[in-house]
Chains A and B, each alone.
Chain A
Amino acid sequence: MNKPEPRTYVIAAVIVIVSVILLVRLFFLQVLSDEYEVSALNNSQRHIIQYPPRGIIYDRDSIILVSNKAGYDLMVIPQQVKIIDSLRLANALGIDKESFRERLAEASFYSRFQPSIFYKMLSAEEYAGIQEILYDYEGFYVQPRVMRQYADEVGAHFMGDIGEVNDNVIAADAYYRMGDYAGVNGIEKYYEKSLRGKKGVKIFLVDAHNRIKESYKDGKFDTLPEAGKSLVSSIDIDLQEYGERLFVNKIGGLVAIEPETGEILALVSSPGYDPNLLVGRNRGYFYDSLLNAPNKPLFNRAINSAYPPGSTFKVVQAVIGLDENLISTSTSIPCNKYWVNCHNHPPATSVTKAVQFSCNPYFYEVFRRMVQRGYEKSIFRDSPIGLDMWKEKVVLFGFDQSLDIGLPSVSSGQIPGSDYYDALYGQYRWAFSTIYSLSIGQGEILATPLQLAHFAAIIANHGYYYTPHVVKSVGEEGKEAKYRKKYILPFKSEVYPPIVEGMKNAVNAPHGTAGLARVKDVTVCGKTGTAQNPHGEDHSIFMAFAPMENPKIAIAVYVENAGYGGTWAAPIAGLMIEKYLTDTITNKWGEERILNANLIPETADEKED
């Protein structure tokens, strides 16, 4: 043997010390500290999400529009699956054996231990069908979900729908998990945060095989789901239903507003669709077919179809002209058809008569005075100044604005300013003569039915408004503050009466343009319009409010490819007004005429000049 070498002991000592350090550390980690034990519990818990019922949506008279029904996702944990008779379960689900295998393989591919959806959104009846046999299939269980249920087949556009969240939504909001549902359109989307409530969770302990053993700490850390808030919509569902009925076989939209509150009473877009189609398992299929259907039923024309408002826009010109003292109530302008054409009508000896007869040369002249103010000698330098002063006033009515009415993606329409024409023609290379068609609401002006209805409401109110809205009340909180705020336009109050008078005569006097909008015993004030359509027949436009003395409803109607505004849009507005104010229809002939009309271009056999 060697003589003892001291370094041997150093080395041995180091080994012993390191071993002791490891042991001490293990002792601390495993025996003394329970920090890691708690963490391990987190790792081996299973959180079962409790989905809250989504908020219910009522109409303005507390009729349920949208409620919930239970849906069931059939979940699978592949690792636990012991299949005895796959054909039996496949048959119960109505799928073939091949599809059954594929679904199982897909779930296994995602994870052997984590649950994934095997079959989406079984209805209560379908669930009942498989419930009794599900006990024989270890590894399968059912996760209840909330599905929407619509009382009626109307109102799909403003109510919107819910759909499975995509990756972007999940990335933007930590609330959502794969497979959750959220509003994708309409009120469902805009009020998602109010409607969705709060998910609850039940925590269970799982064993090494990921099977539920027991409730974690007797449910001490479980949370109950909080139901979503109910919404009261401002929509009158009867009026809505009637509006959609009148629009059968027509393309277009209408918006009706209660002027004194800004509440939207009806919001029709045609063609529409049955909202129940977009519920449950077949949502994807129907969504695609609606997306590709002719005339775009998913497109919400009431808030998104922007067309030149035509002669309805003359009312805007009249208000601004009077306010700026460019005309007085008694200004008479000859119907000189040299610059713009006109129909034959008695002379427009006042602004009231000009509105009543819808005289083109009159408003051509009014707009000329607005645009050519004479601040600059050159009309090329003068016109931009005048146009921008004009636009500044026009946008006060909500034109060129996306109105925050409680629906997502509301179109802003368009009011061109000098920057628009500078971009189009170049600076100082355009003047009044280039843009005069704006005077009669043609050309580059675009407005939606919503904007025109809002404008009609402002005129009805003689200059004030509340921002239009589709939801009157959210949960217990009532109406949102932004819809309780009254706005008063900075125009002189005396500008409104002569214009309202003109609109009254347009409907009720012998030489008016909108006789078909008359309602028995009700003074309707209205203005027709015709949007020139380069692609086909002009669009028929009408805006109105009634009764004149104490306006309860303001309305704008667009009927696409239907020709002159007085012919189709005006009578629809009349019927809507009568329906809303009296709940009866006396003008049976007019109602029949509208209901029977088919104005969809391809199949149209009835056209007006």
Chain B
Amino acid sequence: MRKRINILKQIDWFTIGVFLMLAVIGWLSIFSSSWEGIGDSMFEPGSRQMKQAVWVGLSFLMIILVFLIDSKFFSAFAYVLYGLVILSLVAVLVFGKEVNGARSWFELGNFRFQPAEFAKIFTSLALAQLLTSFQFDLKKIKHLLWAFVIILIPVAMIILQNDTGSALVFFALVIVLYREGMKSTYLFIALAAVLLFVLSVLISPGWVLAGSAFVLLALYWLNEHDNKGFFVALIVATGIVVVLFLLKQREILNLGFGWIVTIAVLVTLLSLLPGMLRARRNTALVLSAILLGTFVYINTLDYVYYNVLQSHQRDRIEHTLGLKDDPLGIGYNVNQSKIAIGSGGFSGKGFLQGTQTKFDFVPEQSTDFIFCTIGEEFGFLGAGLVVLLFATLLVRLIMLAERQRSKFSRVYGYAVVSILFFHITINIGMTIGLMPVIGIPLPFFSYGGSSFMAFTLFLFIFLRLDANRLEIFR
């Protein structure tokens, strides 16, 4: 009895308050988006909002269950639970039901259930357990690779289910690794890779390569303060470019633009080598290696982009980058969604008064595009409030994570933060045209029982760990 009261006192009621507000707004949005007219009751049996209500109720029971379980259970059984969820991901590939082209659902009577939603929780637990291992150090490549193995196994299974969106979510866990000491170089490389990708789709691989080569030359100059060497190098590089271009025009050696620039800069950098070696500096070598890496990366990317990605995936990427304007085709969802949100104005049209989300103008309005309903009916005030509530929740969770004495709890807390953050950014960004259309739900909002339950469980396991933080000593 004494312990019970203790726990209740330790629970972070602030987070629970934010959670409840989000859940209530989310449920009302589902009701509004499936409401068909005055005749429809809010408590219509069999309606979407009532089905969702059943799941919400079940989730609340789950919360109680989580608080009844000893908090050590989660660390002790982390790998076991992880193993079980991987098994269920395999099972769904065999026994699952295909919905919208993705074989990622178990069907039990009227209710469908998506194990990938729960995989996030148990992958996070397993990751937390791994990072807590004795002498585990993310700065060591081997240990970092282990962490990636934990993350990539569910990713592979979910990609096999043909649910790329849900698989991408797991990469958000890189944030956790960053917080726990992964070398930031890797993060920079990852960011550079994304940047190079976006640029080479936007401009062209050849120009991006040329640009990278130029940046690297500039880096050399900045790093070495070797004016003479730099200008000689620049002249040499220009000379090589001119020669290769002439050869290209005479059709003697037909090289692409990217090749020409890369060869020129590479030759130039290497020509600087002898001088550098004498000065015992390896800048030119490192830069040459980077340039070569970039060259290989961009050409691989080019190949993957046109030969591996499916055309609808290319379309989505190009549409988000503003390269394609096709409001009735691929851009239809996003355009209708922007219209719905934009038409909400400052204060919205009022609850149930949305015209865009009512008449099926916006597809998937109660699942992936649920944010439209809020944007249209409650305007900037409502949509802004939801964004602020989410931001508040995330920042609060970071604070909670940082106050943990146990590394396990902290890692898990950051996992919750990263994955929620990813979902929120992608989902809301998608409805307002900032992100490509990736079909992942908005936490606590989107219609779908397993999604709501999984996010609730995800969050409350952390709150459970947090409530016990004082009992654990390092």
A-side residues, CB < 8 A to B, are 1-2, 5, 7-8, 10-12, 15-16, 18-19, 21-23, 25-27, 29-31, 33, 35-37, 39-41, 43-44, 79, 112-113, 206-210
With a cutoff of 8 Å between Cβ atoms, the chain A residues found around residue B119 in the complex are: none
Choose from A15, A18, A25, A208 the contact partner of B354 (Cβ within 8 Å): A208
Contact B37 A30 (CB under 8 A): no
Does B341 touch A at the CB level, under 8 Å? yes
- Given contacts A2-B402, A15-B395, A22-B432, whether A27 and B380 have CB atoms under 8 Å apart is yes
Task: Say whether B343 faces chain A, with CB atoms less than 8 Å apart.
Answer: yes
A22 touches which of B355, B356, B387 (Cβ 8 Å): B387
> Could you tell me the distance in whole angstroms from the C-beta of B465 to the nearest C-beta in chain A?
15
Instruction: Give Cα A16–Cα B179 distance, bound, in whole angstroms.
Output: 17
Q: Are B387 and A5 in contact (CB under 8 A)?
A: no
Choose from A19, A43, A112 the contact partner of B355 (Cβ within 8 Å): A43
| Interface contact B429-A22, CB-CB below 8 Å | yes
- Assuming the A-B contacts A11-B398, A16-B391, are A25 and B434 also in contact, with contact meaning beta carbons closer than 8 angstroms in the complex? yes
The reply to whether the CB of B338 lies closer than 8 angstroms to some CB of chain A is yes
Is there contact, CB below 8 Å, between B395 and A16? Answer: yes
Which B residue sits closest to A30, measured CB to CB? B380
A19, A26, A37: the one contacting B391 at CB < 8 Å is A19
Q: Which of chain A's residues have a CB closer than 8 A to the CB of B344?
A: 30
Majority SS of interface residues in chain A? Answer: helix
Contact of B178 among A11, A39, A210 (CB under 8 A): A11
B175 to chain A: which residues have CB within 8 Å? 11
Task: Please give 12 more A-B residue pairs, beta carbons under 8 A apart, in addition to A2-B402, A8-B402, A22-B432.
Answer: A1-B402, A8-B179, A18-B421, A18-B425, A19-B388, A23-B388, A26-B380, A26-B432, A30-B344, A37-B342, A40-B355, A208-B358
With A26-B375, A30-B375 as known contacts, state yes or no: A8 contacts B398, CB within 8 Å: yes
Taking a contact as CB atoms under 8 Å apart, the answer to whether A36 and B402 are in contact is: no
Q: Chain A contacts of B353 at CB under 8 A?
A: 208
Q: A1-B403, A30-B379, A113-B359 are in contact. Are A36 and B342 (CB under 8 A)?
A: yes
Instruction: Tell me the complex Cα distance, A209–B352, Å.
Output: 10
B402 cross-chain contacts in A, Cβ below 8 A: 1-2, 5, 8
Would you call B361 an interface residue if the criterion is a C-beta within 8 Å of the partner chain's C-beta atoms? Answer: yes
Chain B residues with CB under 8 Å of A207's CB are 355
Cα separation A5 to B358 with both chains bound (whole Å): 48
Contact A30 B346 (CB under 8 A): yes
Residue in A19, A23, A37, A206 whose CB lies within 8 Å of B343: A37
Q: Which residues of A are found within 8 Å of B361, using beta-carbon distances? A: 43
Cβ of A279 to closest chain B Cβ, rounded Å: 36
A12–chain B nearest beta-carbon distance, Å: 5
Contacts of B346 in A (CB 8 A): 30-31
Would you call A43 and B339 a contact (CB within 8 A)?
Answer: yes
Chain A residues with Cβ under 8 A from B178's Cβ? 7, 10-11
Tell whether, in the assembled complex, residue A15 and residue B391 are in contact, meaning their CB atoms are under 8 Å apart.
yes
Q: How far is the CB of B244 from chain A (nearest CB, A)?
A: 42
B345 near A30: Cβ-Cβ < 8 Å:
yes
User: What residues on A are CB-neighbors of B383 within 8 Å?
Assistant: 26, 30
Does B458 interact with chain A (Cβ within 8 Å)? Answer: no
Q: Give which listed residue, A12, A209, A210, contacts B398 with CB less than 8 A.
A: A12
Contact A31 B380 (CB under 8 A): yes
The reply to whether A11 and B179 contact each other, CB–CB distance below 8 Å, is yes
CB-defined contacts of B398 to chain A, threshold 8 Å: 8, 11-12, 15
* B36 interfacial by beta-carbon distance below 8 Å: yes
By a CB distance below 8 angstroms, the chain A residues around B359 are: 43-44, 113, 210
Residue in B338, B355, B395 whose CB lies within 8 Å of A208:
B355
Interface size on B, residues (CB 8 A): 46
- A39 with B395: in contact, given A8-B402, A26-B432 (CB under 8 Å)? no
Say how far A481's CB is from chain B's closest CB, in angstroms. Answer: 41
Most buried by B among A40, A79, A113, A209: A40
Assembly CA distance A67 to B48 (angstroms): 54
Whether B252 sits at the interface, judged by CB under 8 Å, is no
B residues near A (Cβ < 8 Å) are: 36-38, 175, 178-179, 338-346, 349, 352-356, 358-359, 361, 375, 379-380, 383-384, 387-388, 390-391, 394-395, 398, 402-403, 414, 417, 421, 425, 428-429, 432, 434
Chain A contacts for B432, CB-based, 8 A:
22, 25-26, 29
Chain B: which residue is nearest A37 at the CB level? B343
In the complex, the answer to whether B387 meets A26 with C-beta atoms within 8 Å is: yes
Q: In chain A, what residue has the closest Cβ to B358?
A: A208
Q: Give chain B nearest CB distance to A83 CB in angstroms.
A: 13
CA distance in complex: A43, B340 (Å): 10
Interface centre among A7, A15, A35 (most CB of B within 10 A): A15
A36–B391 CB distance below 8 A: no
Chain A residues within 8 Å of B355, by CB: 40, 43-44, 206-208
Q: Which of B388, B391, B434 has the most CB of A within 10 A?
A: B391
Q: Given A207-B355, A208-B353, A209-B38, do A36 and B338 touch, yes or no (CB 8 Å)?
A: yes
Looking across the interface, which residue of chain B has its beta carbon closest to that of A44? B355
Least Cβ–Cβ distance between B351 and chain A, in angstroms: 11
Q: Are B387 and A23 in contact (CB under 8 A)?
A: yes
Cα(A177)–Cα(B75), bound, Å: 65
Give chain A residues whose Cβ lies under 8 Å from the Cβ of B380: 26-27, 30-31
A8 to B361 CA separation, bound complex (whole angstroms): 42
In the assembled complex, how far is the CB of residue B371 from the closest CB belonging to chain A, in whole angstroms? 10
B25 to chain A, nearest CB (A): 15
A113 to B391, CA, bound (A): 38
From A10, A15, A31, A40, give the contact of B394 (CB < 8 A).
A15
Inter-chain contacts of B417 with A (CB < 8 A):
11, 15
**B354 & A29 in contact (Cβ 8 Å cutoff):** no
- Sorted nearest first, the 10 A-B pairs with minimum C-beta distance are A36-B342, A40-B343, A19-B391, A44-B355, A30-B380, A39-B339, A29-B342, A36-B339, A15-B394, A37-B343
Q: Chain B contacts of A26 at CB under 8 A?
A: 341, 375, 380, 383-384, 387, 432
User: CB distance B37 to A21 under 8 Å?
Assistant: no
Q: How far is the CB of B248 from chain A (nearest CB, A)?
A: 43
User: Which A residues are CB-close (under 8 A) to B394?
Assistant: 15
Q: How far is the CB of B174 from chain A (nearest CB, A)?
A: 11
- A selection of 7 A-B contacts at a CB cut-off of 8 Å is A5-B179, A5-B402, A15-B395, A22-B434, A43-B356, A44-B355, A79-B36
Q: How far apart sit A112 and B379, CA to CA, in the bound complex (Å)?
A: 27
A22 touches B428 (CB 8 A): yes
**Shortest Cβ distance from residue A61 to the other chain B in the assembled complex, whole angstroms:** 53
Given A27-B380, A36-B339, are A15 and B179 neighbors across the interface (CB < 8 Å)? no
Asked if residues B341 and A36 are in contact (CB atoms below 8 Å), the reply is yes
Q: Which residues of B contact A210 (CB under 8 A)?
A: 359
Closest A residue, CB atoms, query B178:
A7
With CB as the reference atom, state the residue of chain B lying closest to A33. Answer: B342
In Å, the complex CA distance between A168 and B85 comes to 54
What's the nearest-Cβ distance from chain B to residue A500, in Å? 67
Name which of A7, A10, A37, A39 has the most chain B CB atoms within 10 A of its CB.
A39
In the assembled complex, the CB of A210 is this many whole angstroms from the nearest CB of chain B, namely 7
- A9 nearest in chain B by CB position: B398
Q: Name which residue of chain A comes closest to B346, CB basis.
A: A31
In the bound assembly, the distance between CA atoms of A43 and B432 in angstroms comes to: 18
Query: Quick one: which of A10, A35, A206 contacts B342, CB cutoff 8 A?
Result: A35
Name the B residues within 8 Å of A41 (CB-CB).
343
Which residue of chain A lies nearest to B35 when distances are taken between CB atoms in the complex? A208
State A56–B11 Cα separation when bound (angstroms).
84
Given A16-B395, A79-B36, A209-B38: A44 touches B356 (CB 8 Å cut-off) = yes
Instruction: Tell me which residues across on chain B come within 8 A of A35, comparing CB atoms.
Output: 342
Chain A CB count within 10 A is highest, among B175, B387, B395, for B387
Q: In whole angstroms, what is the CA distance A12 to B414 when docked?
A: 11
Asked if B342 and A30 make an inter-chain contact with CB atoms under 8 angstroms apart, the answer reads yes
Asked if A79 contacts B179 (CB within 8 A), the reply is no
Given contact pairs A5-B402, A26-B384, A29-B341, A209 touches B37 in the complex (Cβ within 8 A): yes
User: B179 to A7, Cβ gap below 8 A?
Assistant: yes
Cβ contacts under 8 Å, A31 to chain B: 345-346, 380
Q: How far apart are the CA atoms of A33 and B342 in the complex, in Å? A: 8
Q: How far is the CA of A27 from the CA of B381 in the complex (A)?
A: 9
Closest Cβ of chain A: how far from B37's Cβ, in Å? 6
